[in-house]
Amino acid sequence: MRIFFLTLFFAGFSIAACSQQHQQEIGRIIDSSFSLAARQYKLLEKNTPDTLMPRNYGHTPGQLSFSNTQWWCSGFFPGSLWYIYEFTHDEEIKRIAEKRLAILEKEKKFTGNHDLGFMMYCSFGNAYRLTGNVEYLQVIKTAAGSLATRFRGVIQSFQSWEQSDKLNCPVIIDNMMNLELLYWASDHGGGSQVPCNGNRPFQFHHTKPFQT
């Protein structure tokens, strides 16, 4: 019996030691990844015009392409910078994030499509979460009000894109991701102009009871 308990003790000790070593290794990988991300994003900033956002590399090797701030992914660059800052506390990364928010802010009044959630909540949402700067909060609320103008009462949903010769009122699944901006703004004093139940019929038509 004594041998049995000794065996259990040493087995448990070995498992705990291996688990701790594994966690330390994961920690080193995470540290290394964020350190690399910070360096890469600083390089990206250096090669991106001050009035544009980075988009992707073109077909020609080494050719970086850019977008204006109305591109639906324009908030991803500053949003990612804030995630990097959250982990690294790198003040240079924070400075770059703030610089990029400054050129993006004007899109808070954009009403041309449903992508304001991607553009403004990913960027200004993270900025407010990490800094508590009330100016960012006001930008988020304004953007939510702009997005709310795309609500169409007849279909109880949000119109994704503008009318075309093929589609009268396009509604796509991406709506569900942009709605987070509206819910968050409503919970933080965004006002009654935000129709937070707006895509409930969309949810019923496109999901089954056991799906999310």
- State pLDDT tens for residues 87-136: 999 999 999 999 999 999 999 999 999 999 999 999 999 999 999 999 99
77: domain CATH number is 1.50.10.10
Q: DSSP states of 128-196 as a string? A: HHHH--HHHHHHHHHHHHHHHTTEETTTTEE--S---SS-SS---TTHHHHHHHHHHHHHTT--TTS-T
- Asked whether residue 72 is domain-assigned, the answer is yes
Is 115 an annotated catalytic residue?
A: yes
- Asked whether residue 88 is domain-assigned, the answer is yes
* Predicted local distance difference test score (pLDDT) of residue 112: 92
Q: Give the total number of structural domains in the chain.
A: 1
| C-alpha to C-alpha distance for 66 and 54, rounded to whole angstroms | 5
- Asked whether residue 65 is domain-assigned, the answer is yes
| pLDDT > 50? residue 199 | no
- Asked whether residue 179 is domain-assigned, the answer is yes
Is 31 an annotated catalytic residue?
A: no
Among 12-21, 59-68, 136-145, where is mean pLDDT lowest? 12-21
* Predicted local distance difference test score (pLDDT) of residue 53: 96
| pLDDT > 70? residue 10 | no
Are the CB atoms for 112 and 70 separated by under 8 Å?
yes
Q: Which of 31, 90, 165, 174 is catalytic?
A: 174
| C-alpha to C-alpha distance for 147 and 117, rounded to whole angstroms | 8
* Predicted local distance difference test score (pLDDT) of residue 104: 98
| pLDDT > 50? residue 33 | yes
Model confidence pTM above 0.95: no
- Asked whether residue 121 is domain-assigned, the answer is yes
Its domain, for residue 157, covers: 47-206
Q: Which of 50, 115, 165, 187 is catalytic?
A: 115
* Predicted local distance difference test score (pLDDT) of residue 196: 52
